[in-house]
Chain A
Amino acid sequence: MTAVGGKRSRPLERQAGIGLRHPHVVDLIERPPAGLAWLEVHTENYLVDGGPRLHQLERIRERYALSFHGVGLSLGSAEPPDPAHLARVRQLADRFAPELLSEHIAWSIESGHYLNDLFPIPYTEEALSLVARNVEIAQEALGRPLMVENPSSYLRFVDSTMAECEFVAEIARRAGCGILLDINNIHVSAHNHGFAVADYLETIPAAVIGEFHLAGHASCEIEGSPILIDDHASRVDEPVWRLFEAALARYGPRATLIEWDNAIPPLEVLLEERSAAQRRLELATPGPARADAA
């Protein structure tokens, strides 16, 4: 795939945005907060024929840049992505022209059933070639570059033959796609599976990274073992801010999202979190990204 080779544009690279959540829509339309340049939506929520959701997104579009973050392509499935679903996403993307477009390295569809979660993949050669093929199919059908997000997970497969970060980096290399680096996911998975976060940052090249995600997680105990759950229901945790700072030092600034999907707080709290990310973005030095991309 050459759709996104060589020189990459990096929209919104010094802008922190927030996820658009229903309780905040009217405020964001009527009283746009100072400095907030972009919003991320879950693409599938807007795959409807008409009605208030699309009407509101039109009004949002007049004031903000947009990121479409998909949860339904199931790029990690052994089966190729559904052409009908791709066509619907393309139609929506053509209509709203989002500056950023992303999906997940995960799967959620099996035998035509959608399970509404992001399941992990065994990191094998077979999975690598199938997922890279799926990403290529998706980029081709969508007609625009796609970023794929590193997963958070609560289990591993005995059949894996490579580290998660190697798998993620190799998907980007083979499919020619970008990576949406979810900093919280690195922290959660590193904790749950005992790998070093530093390996992640060393393995994923700067050139492919187009966006960062930051979110809160929860800690719980199963059979006496602590496990982190990626629940997007709280403020960004301190170790995740530290890892974000390390990522900025390594990669330079990128569009950064505060994700908060459950137990949604007042808009002011989200904006405080956004400001904390924005301050760090403004301090970041450009990093080696452009040299890598040459």
Chain B
Amino acid sequence: MPTLHEVQAAFARGVLDPALIGGIAGRLVGDGIAPERRLGVYRNNVLASLRSVLEGRFPATRRRLGPERFAPLALDFIRTELPARPQLSTYGAGFPAFLERSIEDRALPCLADVARLEWAREDAYHAADAASLNPRTLASIPAERYPGLRFELHPSLRLIRSAGPVHTLWRAALDDSAEGSDRALASGRAEQVLVVRPELTVATRPIALADLLLVEALAQGLPLAEAAATAQSADAGFDLQAALAHHLAGGSFTGCH
């Protein structure tokens, strides 16, 4: 008689892949229904439930692909990357990279980037809570200290860079607007997106490349003057004051020192 460990290893293989059922079928009672069909009930539970997790998490990606194309891709992903822990809120992080590897479709540019944006929103939704930096705290700091200030970013803050119009494509897919997608693609512009959840609602806004560089530099712990210089290297006309005001209002920071 095989050990419980052996039975479970063979069961798991047979559940995921009908071709591997031979390792477990002999341990199962038929009783009017073939063991393969009995195992099939579990296979359906596993695959359908995980697929529905991915559908809920990547709605814009699914709209762009179409449900008939999304479903088999989701199943391929599930078979290559099962959840690593029993917390489905963490499942799907690898899906954008999987799409990048699996889909080469000129008609669907930025597909993986839109999926990355959707994942960032999911991730931000469940990120740790933190109170945002009060603009008055910053205002109370003497101006001469500003160049050396370092900022702590909100734990939910995520940045997305794309070679294409990722934000517009995401928005257009959710609005089911083919025109919106076409216009965005025709523009050929690159977009960057900031995702943050300062309180209970996830905010998603496009930001300039210089602004993204500023936030990335601050995230690395660089002082404000150096971070601003990085931003200005991409855009000499970068308005630091306006960008900071926007970040303060949007809750990007939790503190500064």
B86 within 8 Å of A (CB atoms)? yes
- In B129-156, the 8 Å CB interface with A consists of 129-130, 155-156
A71 within 8 Å of B (CB atoms)? yes
User: Once bound together, how far apart are the Cα atoms of A227 and B237, in whole Å?
Assistant: 70
Question: B46 touches which one: A116, A155, A157 (CB < 8 A)?
Answer: A116
Question: B4 touches which one: A44, A109, A114, A130 (CB < 8 A)?
Answer: A130
A223 within 8 Å of B (CB atoms)? yes
- CB neighbours of B197 from chain A (8 A): 51
Is the CB–CB distance between A158 and B29 below 8 Å?
A: yes
**Chain B min CB distance to A156 (Å):** 4
- CB neighbours of B179 from chain A (8 A): none
A124 within 8 Å of B (CB atoms)? yes
How many inter-chain residue pairs (CB < 8 Å) link A and B?
143
For chain A, give the interface size range.
35 or more
Contact with B along A60-78 (1 / 0, CB 8 A): 0000000000011110011
Is the CB–CB distance between A117 and B42 below 8 Å?
A: yes
Is the CB–CB distance between A74 and B27 below 8 Å?
A: no
A238 within 8 Å of B (CB atoms)? no
User: Once bound together, how far apart are the Cα atoms of A155 and B33, in whole Å?
Assistant: 9
Is the CB–CB distance between B38 and A126 below 8 Å?
A: no
- CB neighbours of B7 from chain A (8 A): 122, 157, 159
Question: A53 touches which one: B11, B41, B126 (CB < 8 A)?
Answer: B126
- CB neighbours of B127 from chain A (8 A): 49-51
Q: Which 8 A-B pairs have the closest CB atoms?
A: A72-B86, A50-B129, A78-B5, A110-B12, A155-B38, A48-B126, A113-B82, A49-B128
| A157-B27, A159-B1 known; A50 vs B38 contact (CB < 8 Å) | no
Count of chain B residues with a beta carbon within 8 Å of a chain A beta carbon: 49
**Chain B min CB distance to A83 (Å):** 12
Is the CB–CB distance between B38 and A49 below 8 Å?
A: no
| A44-B87, A115-B15 known; A78 vs B125 contact (CB < 8 Å) | no
**Chain B min CB distance to A105 (Å):** 13
A2 within 8 Å of B (CB atoms)? no
Known pairs A47-B89, A85-B86, A223-B32 / 9 extra A-B pairs, C-beta < 8 Å: A45-B88, A53-B126, A71-B86, A79-B5, A116-B50, A116-B53, A154-B38, A156-B28, A158-B29
Contact with B along A230-269 (1 / 0, CB 8 A): 0000000000000000000000000000000000000000
B106 within 8 Å of A (CB atoms)? no
User: Once bound together, how far apart are the Cα atoms of A265 and B157, in whole Å?
Assistant: 36
Chain A to chain B contacts (Cβ below 8 Å), 24 pairs: A44-B88, A47-B87, A48-B87, A48-B89, A49-B127, A52-B200, A55-B129, A78-B5, A85-B86, A107-B8, A110-B12, A113-B12, A116-B46, A116-B50, A116-B83, A119-B8, A119-B42, A124-B1, A155-B35, A157-B29, A158-B29, A159-B1, A222-B41, A225-B32
